Amino acid sequence: MNLIKTPIEVRYQETDQMGVVYHANYLIWFEIGRTKLIESLGFAYTDMEKENVVSPVIDIHIAYKSPIRYGDDVYIETWLEKYDGIRTVYGYKVSGSDGIEAVTGTTKHVIVNKETFKPLSLRRSFPSWHQAYKKLIEGTNHGIRN
C-alpha cells in the first residue's frame, strides 16, 4: 500500500475539558493527510477549483481507539482505499510516536461542478489525476514523496 505519513502538531485549542483532542478535530487532520497525499502525487485541490470543480465528502467513518493529548507527537497515515473513476475513498490512521493506533477512518468523495453540484467523472475531467489514482490503487505508483 502506498501511503503518506504526515506529522500533526496537537494544539492546545484542539483539546477538550478532559485534556484529549476533541473528536471533530480528527476530521481536520484527515483533510491535512488527504491534501498531503494529493500533493505527493503532484496535484492540488486549487487546480481542481480553477476548473470550477470541488470534491465534497459524501461519507465518513471514524473509530476512536485511544486518546491523543496536547503535547503528544502524532502522525496521520493516509492512503487511497478505493477508487472507481467516480468515487474516491481515502483511508486514515492516526497514531502517536509510540505507534499506538488512536483513530482510524475513511472518507468518501466525488467531484462536482461547483455551481450546480452535478457529479463529474474524475476519469474524464482530470485524466492525469485519474491515472495517478489508478496506479496508486494497483500498487504501481511509487511516486509518493514523504
10-residue mean pLDDT series, the chain (146 residues): 89 91 95 96 94 97 96 95 96 94 98 96 95 90 52
Write down the pLDDT at residue 144: 55
Residue at 145 is within a domain: no
On whether the CB atoms of residues 52 and 115 are closer than 8 A, the answer is yes
Residue 97: what pLDDT?
86
Q: What is the CATH number of the domain that holds 52?
A: 3.10.129.10
Q: Quick check: is 28 in a domain? A: yes
Would you list the DSSP string of 36-95? HHHHHTT--HHHHHHTTEE--EEEEEEEE-S--BTT-EEEEEEEEEEE-SS-EEEEEEEE
Q: Which residues does the annotation mark as catalytic? A: 16
Q: Looking at the domain assignment, is residue 105 inside a domain? A: yes
In a domain? residue 81: yes
- CB of 36 closer than 8 Å to CB of 6: yes
Amino acid 146: pLDDT: 45
Instruction: Give the pTM.
Output: 0.92
Domain that holds residue 42: 3-134
pLDDT at 140: 66
Number of domains present in the structure of the chain? 1
Sign of CA dihedral 33, 137, 81, 48: positive
